[in-house]
Amino acid sequence: MHAQLELEMLGGPTEARLRRRRPGADDLPWGTLDPDAFDPHALHEARAVWTNGVFTEYASAAAFAAMAGAFLECRAPVDLSAAAADIVVDEIDHATVASRLVMELGGAVPFRADFALVSPATTPDASPVVRAAELALKTSCVGEALSISALSRSLAGADHPLVRAVLDRLLRDEGHHARIGAWFFEWADDRLGDADRRHLAGVALDAIAVYRPLWRDRCAACEAPAALGGTAPQSHAELMIDAVRTRVAAPLERLGISLDRDRLEELLQ
């Protein structure tokens, strides 16, 4: 069932706990963004970009929560599982900060999603270690690796202090988010066979395919102003294609997961 994206805070001890664990959100320069200073169409696009951003942060929280559970189920080192679980809290912090920015921009655009399907699926009957590997691949080695490139590009173009502060807070955590997948594969190396690796290479290509709209069929008219975190469609497409090659495919190759070159090139068309 689809529902409108909306973040609710319970308040009290749980909100206090979140603020304690991720301090500083209140110190961002809130209240400095004047929506009237921007062209209404561009402002709408910025609201759309950041509303989508709230959802992707929320979805990342669900993905890392699934990963933390899968790590525990395959008896991965406990500090690795703790890192995955802690990243869930990073992503929830990102979702709340992005949602506050959306409010400053004038509020969310309609955005409906089926939240029952927000966690990434894994192959039915896969062994615990392969299931964990699938989640590490999709979420960290592909998703987070691409998001570092996209966020860095947005930060380079953004000149509003509040938007910069929000992007900065999001990016600060992404290094570990993109590396936890590799940490897992280094540990799991002797627990994965050749057949597992071939299977995982296919999973990685399917995960890359999900991001194809980032470099294909991107709406040229839907450009949010760079000042508010938007990026130009053409240069963004080139950036994403480069990121797939250098930040996703090449590191996976080094981890022993070789993507089929022909299929990869096909996806990057």
User: In the set 177, 197, 199, 247, which binds Fe ion (CB under 5 A)?
Assistant: 177
Give the contacts of 198 (CB within 8 A, at least 6 positions apart). none
- Closest distance of CB 239 from Fe ion, Å: 18
Taken in order 218, 219, 220, 223, the sign of the CA dihedral is negative
Closer to Fe ion by Cβ: residue 45 or 144: 144
Closer to Fe ion by Cβ: residue 57 or 134: 57
Backbone phi and psi for residue 151, each to the nearest 5 degrees, phi listed first: -70, -40
- Exposure class string for 106-124: b at 16+ Cβ within 10 A, else e: bebbebeeeeeebbbebee
Stretch that binds Fe ion, among 33-41, 143-151, 231-239, 251-259 (CB under 5 A): 143-151
What value, to the nearest 5°, has the Cα angle with vertex 91 and ends 81 and 203? 65
- Exposure class string for 197-235: b at 16+ Cβ within 10 A, else e: bebbbebbbebbeebeebbeebeeeebbbbbbbbbebee
Q: Please check whether residue 152 is in contact with residue 66, taking contact to mean a CB–CB distance below 8 angstroms.
A: no
Write the DSSP assignment of 115-126 as a string of letters. GGG-SPP--TT-
Stretch that binds Fe ion, among 44-52, 65-73, 86-94, 232-240 (CB under 5 A): 86-94
Q: How many residues does the chain have?
A: 269
> Residue 26: how many CB atoms within 10 A of its CB?
8
**Can residue 247 be called a binding residue for Fe ion (CB under 5 A)?**
no
Backbone phi and psi for residue 112, each to the nearest 5 degrees, phi listed first: -110, 140
Closer to Fe ion by Cβ: residue 22 or 263: 22
- Closest distance of CB 25 from Fe ion, Å: 13
Interactions with Fe ion, residue window 38-57 (CB under 5 A): 57
- Closest distance of CB 26 from Fe ion, Å: 19
Site string for Fe ion, 196-235 (x = CB under 5 A): ----------------------------------------
- Closest distance of CB 124 from Fe ion, Å: 27
- Closest distance of CB 200 from Fe ion, Å: 21
Strands (E), the chain: 2-4, 112-114
Q: Please check whether residue 50 is in contact with residue 105, taking contact to mean a CB–CB distance below 8 angstroms.
A: yes
Stretch that binds Fe ion, among 40-48, 134-142, 170-178, 194-202 (CB under 5 A): 170-178
Stretch that binds Fe ion, among 12-20, 94-102, 183-191, 209-217 (CB under 5 A): 94-102
**Can residue 94 be called a binding residue for Fe ion (CB under 5 A)?**
yes
Closer to Fe ion by Cβ: residue 55 or 185: 55
Closer to Fe ion by Cβ: residue 160 or 169: 169
Closer to Fe ion by Cβ: residue 45 or 91: 91
Contact set with Fe ion (CB under 5 A): 57, 60, 91, 94, 144, 177
